[in-house]
Structure 1
Amino acid sequence: MKKDRENQTENRSNRFHYTIDRAAEKPFNWKQLWRLLIYLKPYSKTYLPGAILMMIISTFVRLAVPILIGKVAIDGAIANHDMSMLGYLVGIIVVLYGINYISNIFRIKWVNYLGQNVIYDLRKHLFTHVQSLSHRFFDSRSAGSILVRIMNDTNSLQELFTNGIINLLMDVITLTGIIIILLTLSPKLALAIMVVLPLMFFISTKLRRNIRRAWQDTRIQQSRMNSHLNESIQGIRITQSFSQEKENTAYFFGVNKDNFYSWKTATKKSAMFRPLVELCNAAGTVILVAYGSYLILLGAGHGGIELGTFVSFAFFLGMFWEPISRLGQMYNQLLMAMAASERIFEYLDEQPNVKIMDKAHVFQDIQGEIVFENVQFSYDNDRVALHEISLKMRAGETVALVGHTGSGKSTIANLISRFYDPSKGSVKIDGYDLKETDLRSLRCHISIVLQDTFVFSGTIMENIRFGRPDATDEEVIKAAKVVGADEFINRMAQGYQTEVEERGNILSAGERQLLSFARALLADPRILILDEATASIDTQTEVKIQQALQKLLHGRTAIIIAHRLSTIREADEIFVLAQGKILEHGSHSELMEQQGEYFELVKSQFQMLDAI
């Protein structure tokens, strides 16, 4: 068994690495880079031009000082013993460095403002877009992987926007300026020094693909680890109840090790670029000393150079390889950013499966009549959840959906809320096909209470008010009283201001369910969907809720999905489903007289109760 488990893990790993290899073969996406740069547009009249201006001033100072020292100071003032000129020159250099200091302060300040604002906008855009996606998107992705895209991948772009872009411009301008100045001062010496550039370019080109593949691997491994972490934390109770801590830890160690080695490999490959630059710098220095000294000995009048030119060359040589080194690091940073942005834009390019038409009908009010006309639906191509069903729920009726697990009950509720659109047929509310309606206006009139209710971090008051943010405290308390939640809330130390912590950990399953009832009822919906909503509530509490619901459901269309058939006896209409088809429908008494599938379900439940 242990061997089989190891083989399964190895197979998953092989499939995972195959995905990485396929992703790594993609060429550098310049269109994707342009999409990233578009996020700079809102700041094209504020932080960006200011940062560029300060960068140009700083670059000008850095390029001017070596010329002033070499050509003006050494070949001019010192060669002619002009102390007055030398004094003026020192003052000019001091002023220039002062200007450089001030410009760098503003440059760093503005590029950081620029970067933080861009990351803020990008993360906001991504989160907003993800929230607009349909349920199919979340069906196939873990919460951990989505979290990685919104947090880690956007953070990976932070360095690019805060320093990378401005530094790239600065280094390109600096490098271009140095080459022009060196060729102007002495073309022969400049060409001799730069003879190593083609070799460096050839070697660095060979490194690029490996570096890019390594950083892509790193991003995917990190996503895998974060997804596993999120899953492990959420499922800690199950892990501990089955005593699977060791197995879970061993799996995490494997994922963590893969992440560690991916970073190690990427860093190792990226680190190869800097020594290459240093080697070229050393070669350039040797050429400068050897050939430059020879040209000095020749003299300026015989095709050689002056001492000041040699000194300027020495200054510029140190400055020449520095931007090249940073450009190499910038390339690595760009590769990391491309790997992250590729994953971000993958989500941003996702489109909702549930689409809104340009002239969609906006519900101002809903009566609550629901009609299914030959509706067929499947979550995937392998299994059909509903087989061309037709049904009608009259406005103000309480309708129950019963059947075994997988019969299609929750699917009907999902289609009414338009979490999905049917594959065939139409779902209509008050005569309007939901495909032609506005989602927000539709869902404003629908409340849903699920079996697995979700409680947000915050106070009990805030959780109930989530159903209607503009509700007053009195309205919140009234809704809690109606569903019977007021009693347990008042027993808590802080009452309605009690912090429920993450996922409502301080509340029992039944208490969380009561909060979700209050939340749904506070929204005052025209259509109320209860999907196994009383499954986590004890029988005594359920009786109280049933009494309250009889008043609250009056005048509303209510869809009740329940395995406890005792909770649906008073429903106006009961639909019995099996394998995505409607077997029979009618009131409780009518279905019992037919002695069909519903009769058998009731009979089996009573037999189970008698056995207990």
Structure 2
Amino acid sequence: MASVHEEIFLEEKEKSEGDFKTFFRLWAYIKKYKMLLALTFITLAIATVIELALPYLIRYGIDNVINVQYFFDLDYEGNFVQDDTGNYSLKKIDNNYFMVDRQTQEMIQVNESEYAHYFDDAIKRIRVFSITFIFVLVAQLFMNYGQVYYANVVGQKVIYNIRKDLFKHILKIEYKYFEKNPPGKVTTRVVNDTQNLSDFFSDVVTSLLKDIAIITGVVILMMLLDLQLSLYTIIMFPVIIIAVIIFRKFDRRAYDKVRTRVSALNSYLAENLSGSSVTKLFNQEERKKNEFNYMSNNLYKANVEQMYVFAIFRPLMNLLNYLTLSLVLWFGSQLLTDGQTTFGTIYAFTAYIDMFFRPLFDIAEKYDIMQNAFASAGKIFKIFDQKQEELGKGLYTTIEKGKVEFENVKFSYDGNNEILKGVSFKIEPNERVAIVGETGSGKTTIIKLISGLYKYQEGRILIDDKELYDYDLNMLRKKIAVVPQDVFLFSGTILENMRLFNKSISEEEVRKVSKFVYAEEIISKLPKAYNTIITERGSTLSSGERQLIALTRAVLFDSKIIILDEATANIDVETEFLIQKALNKISQRATIISIAHRLSTVKNSNRIIVVHKGLVVEEGTHSELLNKKGIYYDLYRLQFENI
């Protein structure tokens, strides 16, 4: 099983962009919202300052409001005088007031009215402190709300613009990208990866900035509170920093692997759900089950690897947290006993340590989200880095006649193996021409070059005697209709698919063209005729019905060149007869090029071009080519001898 879709996992080995480069590319979208960013950072700064101030404020309340003592000494007349350095402290015991001698612990009862105002003053100070503290908490609530709200607004606007630009870019990427990358992979980029970026903005951006500010602020405030106690605490910081750096390295690697394998599984599912009928018809359920289990197991292993990293980091941070707290309590109790610090200071330190480690605990989760987002952003920007197709010089914007000419055209998909080795032919306006040849001769490649999906390396392709790349290819394609063997139809009604959801084209006009190409004979038999709902890709319609819808669409948009790529290969005789009748009529107003393996379908062509090993080897009518007894004759004889 090791070979199943192994090429998809090669993406894991690609070197991703650095986080800084990815961030600067995101910054191009973020900086558009300067006012919202300013509001985000202002509310963030205020909320952070308040949060950092809370332990300091509580420390002040403990030491200067709640735990305040009034000290007295005796004057020359033997009266008690307030003096912070005196020998007596005022205490209230069982509703009686006492002066307690510091040296002998002797209690001397005093007059209540004389000293009660000291305790009334303490109650007032506690009340003022409590109201102030509540006010600060309410202010913090509003600031936190503001930072979250503004950050989310910026994030949603950024994601909307990225998703819009990404899809716009995808529409213009060179066609070869889609032949190498499955739809499921592209869908993952547009939907899942942009959602990961949304989570990054809503859950990480402001939180991460706030966490960094808090960690920095905590260190500074601890230094200001008590330098000696801070030095004991800082002993653990190098260990914490090393742990975070190691976690970052392994977590990024694990998340890159997870995102790649999610993409691979999505691609596999999209492909196999589309081909479910083939799986059933050829009894491939067991093999597909094994393939899915293999890919699902790869995703499971990647997730487990990421969980291992996370499972080690968080308990390690817990251990470091308690070790740091133990150091503070150990050395702080000694300093408190020696009178070198206060109880409020020790409380503030324990609060700041909790505040210091809280972001580190969150970092495990937030860093996961951030790495997930950066991995997703890297993959999104890889699509942005895909080269867009060159849309020509734009000197000409439409096809007037429908003449097509190849002059010694050479083309290779990979730059090494030439598919076309010097193809030359000419198709006149309104001529009905068939291109035939064995598989791999270059027939379909010719069609892709006419439509400008690939760029040829040598020679010239002329449309109405003008170089193909002198046209605006977007406008050119409006006059070139390709009817493939498997016609793609969108979810909607038959009417909407015929006019490609262009409501400026009336239903009456659609019906008129449908009659012209004999499509109405079949469509009228459907339950709701033109208003029949079809599912994605038109799976509820037969191949012939889809072909007739595509032909109607080509005529409706006044295509001057209509290309049929094996269009009649899988349809019934009745529908094929209708299509041949329609082509005879369409050829009076458009050039028709048919690619065919079934040579019986090209007999009515004005001319047949035979392609063999990348070269045009024969041209002529059906009877002329049979009389030559060359390659066409051999192909025709092989087909009909096998009937």
Shift of 1:382: 5.3
2:349 equivalent in structure 1: 313
Shift of 1:69: 1.7
Higher helix share: 1
Contact 1:374 1:388 in 2 (8 A): yes
Q: Distance in 2 between matches of 1:249 and 1:477?
A: 46
Q: TM-score, normalised by structure 1?
A: 0.91
Q: Distance in 1 between matches of 2:319 and 2:521?
A: 77
Shift of 1:105: 2.7
Q: Distance in 2 between matches of 1:529 and 1:428?
A: 16
Unaligned runs of 5+ in 1: 1-8
Relative to 1, partners in 2 of residues 1:596 and 1:258: Cα closer, same or farther, differing over 3 Å? closer
Relative to 1, partners in 2 of residues 1:19 and 1:65: Cα closer, same or farther, differing over 3 Å? closer
Letter in 2 for 1:31: K
**Are 1:122 and 2:166 an aligned pair?**
no
Contact 1:374 1:426 in 2 (8 A): yes
Q: Distance in 1 between matches of 2:269 and 2:574?
A: 39
Residue 46 of structure 2 is aligned with which of 34, 41, 57?
Answer: 57
Q: How many residues align?
A: 592
Shift of 1:592: 4.3
Shift of 1:324: 2.5
* Per-residue Cα deviation, 1:338-357 (whole angstroms, up to 9, x for no partner): 322222222211103x4235
Letter in 1 for 2:510: V
**Are 1:104 and 2:144 an aligned pair?**
yes
Residue 540 of structure 1 is aligned with which of 557, 574, 584?
Answer: 574
Relative to 1, partners in 2 of residues 1:497 and 1:44: Cα closer, same or farther, differing over 3 Å? farther
2:30 equivalent in structure 1: 40
Letter in 2 for 1:83: I
Relative to 1, partners in 2 of residues 1:514 and 1:19: Cα closer, same or farther, differing over 3 Å? closer
Which region of structure 1 is more displaced relative to structure 2, 186-195 or 599-608? Answer: 599-608
Shift of 1:72: 4.2
2:84 equivalent in structure 1: none
* Per-residue Cα deviation, 1:94-126 (whole angstroms, up to 9, x for no partner): 122222222333333332232222222222222
Q: Distance in 1 between matches of 2:51 and 2:281?
A: 66
Q: 1:591-610 alignment to 2 at 5 Å? A: 591-608=625-642
- Counterpart secondary structure, 2:329: helix
Contact 1:73 1:89 in 2 (8 A): no
Letter in 2 for 1:38: A
**Are 1:31 and 2:71 an aligned pair?**
no
**Are 1:339 and 2:375 an aligned pair?**
yes
**Are 1:356 and 2:391 an aligned pair?**
yes
Which region of structure 1 is more displaced relative to structure 2, 597-606 or 487-496? Answer: 597-606
Which region of structure 1 is more displaced relative to structure 2, 109-118 or 255-264? Answer: 109-118
**Are 1:265 and 2:326 an aligned pair?**
no
Letter in 2 for 1:190: S
Q: Distance in 1 between matches of 2:302 and 2:462?
A: 52
1:3 equivalent in structure 2: none
* Per-residue Cα deviation, 1:170-198 (whole angstroms, up to 9, x for no partner): 11122222222111111111221121010
Residue 279 of structure 1 is aligned with which of 295, 319, 324?
Answer: 319
Q: Distance in 1 between matches of 2:45 and 2:7?
A: 50
Unaligned runs of 5+ in 2: 70-118
1:71 equivalent in structure 2: 60
Residue 551 of structure 1 is aligned with which of 575, 585, 596?
Answer: 585
Letter in 1 for 2:40: A
2:88 equivalent in structure 1: none
Q: Distance in 2 between matches of 1:433 and 1:193?
A: 76
Residue 495 of structure 2 is aligned with which of 461, 464, 477?
Answer: 461
Contact 1:468 1:522 in 2 (8 A): no
Relative to 1, partners in 2 of residues 1:49 and 1:492: Cα closer, same or farther, differing over 3 Å? farther
Shift of 1:312: 2.0
Contact 2:17 2:378 in 1 (8 A): no
Q: Distance in 2 between matches of 1:45 and 1:589?
A: 76
- Counterpart secondary structure, 1:361: coil
Shift of 1:326: 2.4
Q: Distance in 2 between matches of 1:491 and 1:324?
A: 68
Contact 1:377 1:422 in 2 (8 A): yes
Q: 1:557-568 alignment to 2 at 5 Å? A: 557-568=591-602
1:293 equivalent in structure 2: 333
Q: Distance in 2 between matches of 1:60 and 1:477?
A: 71
Q: TM-score, normalised by structure 2?
A: 0.86
Q: Distance in 2 between matches of 1:527 and 1:336?
A: 48
Letter in 1 for 2:39: G
Contact 1:68 1:89 in 2 (8 A): no
* Per-residue Cα deviation, 1:118-148 (whole angstroms, up to 9, x for no partner): 2222222222212211221112122222222
- Counterpart secondary structure, 1:536: coil
Contact 2:218 2:352 in 1 (8 A): yes
2:437 equivalent in structure 1: 403
Contact 2:9 2:264 in 1 (8 A): no
* Per-residue Cα deviation, 1:198-230 (whole angstroms, up to 9, x for no partner): 012123323332222221221222222222212
- Counterpart secondary structure, 2:422: strand
Q: Distance in 2 between matches of 1:523 and 1:541?
A: 22
Residue 606 of structure 2 is aligned with which of 572, 578, 595?
Answer: 572
Q: Distance in 1 between matches of 2:272 and 2:426?
A: 43
Q: 1:145-156 alignment to 2 at 5 Å? A: 145-156=185-196
Q: 1:511-522 alignment to 2 at 5 Å? A: 511-522=545-556
Relative to 1, partners in 2 of residues 1:116 and 1:70: Cα closer, same or farther, differing over 3 Å? same
Relative to 1, partners in 2 of residues 1:13 and 1:404: Cα closer, same or farther, differing over 3 Å? closer
Shift of 1:545: 2.4
Residue 475 of structure 1 is aligned with which of 506, 509, 512?
Answer: 509
Q: Distance in 2 between matches of 1:485 and 1:95?
A: 76
**Are 1:239 and 2:239 an aligned pair?**
no
* Per-residue Cα deviation, 1:560-606 (whole angstroms, up to 9, x for no partner): 22233343334333211111111121334443444433344444545
Shift of 1:243: 1.0
Relative to 1, partners in 2 of residues 1:576 and 1:349: Cα closer, same or farther, differing over 3 Å? same
Q: 1:365-444 alignment to 2 at 5 Å? A: 365-381=399-415, 383-444=417-478
Letter in 2 for 1:340: S
Contact 1:421 1:435 in 2 (8 A): no
Relative to 1, partners in 2 of residues 1:276 and 1:28: Cα closer, same or farther, differing over 3 Å? farther
Shift of 1:245: 0.7
Relative to 1, partners in 2 of residues 1:396 and 1:485: Cα closer, same or farther, differing over 3 Å? closer
Contact 1:397 1:555 in 2 (8 A): no
Shift of 1:250: 1.6
Contact 2:610 2:616 in 1 (8 A): yes
Contact 1:455 1:503 in 2 (8 A): yes
Shift of 1:27: 7.7
Q: 1:468-507 alignment to 2 at 5 Å? A: 470-507=504-541
Contact 1:50 1:107 in 2 (8 A): yes
2:107 equivalent in structure 1: none
**Are 1:10 and 2:2 an aligned pair?**
yes
